[in-house]
A and B are shown apart, each in its own frame.
Chain A
Amino acid sequence: MTETLNVTVDRREGLAVIYTEGYINNQGGEEIAKAAYKLLDEGYKVLLLNLAGTKIVNSIGISILIEIIEKMLEIEGKLGFCCLTPTIEKTFHIMGLAQYAPIYSDEAAAVAQIRA
């Protein structure tokens, strides 16, 4: 029954993109957090979460994403999201994440704007 989340990272000049594949629940959220905090330790202060490979999330997983957003605000970094399904985007708006982390429709737009 297990739905695992795969996380991959693309390190670029001044920006790292985290790609997810699968269900973002508590374990999935922790995997993303682990990748994000490792990138912060490496000196990256601008992160983009590309959720194109994620079709379902739950509120526990999202609460971990909120912790990452809080950490990014603390260090005056930037975290953005892109490629969300309409339902995930709607859920992020219900939970107020969009106030603290921008949501972009695609990765190219996100990369261009998040570094601006």
Chain B
Amino acid sequence: MTEGVLREVTLALPMVPEMEIEASKTATAIAESIRMSPDRIDEVRMAVVEACINALEHSHSSDQEVFVTFQVLGDPDPEKLRIMVKDHGIGFSPDVEPTPAGKPTMVRKRGWGLKIIRGLMDEVEIQSGADGTTVVMCKMR
């Protein structure tokens, strides 16, 4: 299966509360345009929201921006939506992902973003270093 980029859209969003909603609206529009099922679109929206919130809360980015790139992949027809959420923050070691924090006897309260993203998307890859973090996630149509 070849995966040519049929369409690409990038948003540069300021790190302000609810910027994740703008990203999720674009995700919805692009997923609808490739006729993804409503339930799968909902999963994409939620994953995009979590990736943006992670950048907002944990990146400590000096430029205070998040870049969200949406790529429709396939050849000749759309097969997959790839989304990259990038910040220019301090990064973290993907091998030591933050674990959700909270009381051990109860569900852990915070730090669930990456776990939720992994649970909702078909493919997830984290690239992180001193120049920032990129969450690359894909959903088949």
The reply to whether B50 and A87 contact each other, CB–CB distance below 8 Å, is no
B113: A residues at CB distance < 8 A: 59
The reply to whether A99 and B107 contact each other, CB–CB distance below 8 Å, is yes
A88: B residues at CB distance < 8 A: 46
Count of A-B contacts judged by CB separation below 8 Å? 77
B116: A residues at CB distance < 8 A: 59, 91, 94-95
The reply to whether B53 and A58 contact each other, CB–CB distance below 8 Å, is yes
From A56, A59, A62, A63, give the contact of B45 (CB < 8 A): A56
Number of interface residues of B (CB under 8 A): 28
- Secondary structure call for the A interface: helix
Number of interface residues of A (CB under 8 A): 30
Q: Can you show 26 pairs from A to B with CB atoms below 8 A apart? A: A3-B18, A3-B21, A55-B42, A56-B42, A56-B46, A56-B49, A59-B110, A59-B116, A60-B53, A62-B112, A63-B102, A66-B102, A66-B109, A69-B106, A70-B103, A70-B106, A85-B42, A86-B42, A87-B43, A87-B46, A90-B120, A91-B116, A91-B120, A95-B115, A97-B107, A99-B107
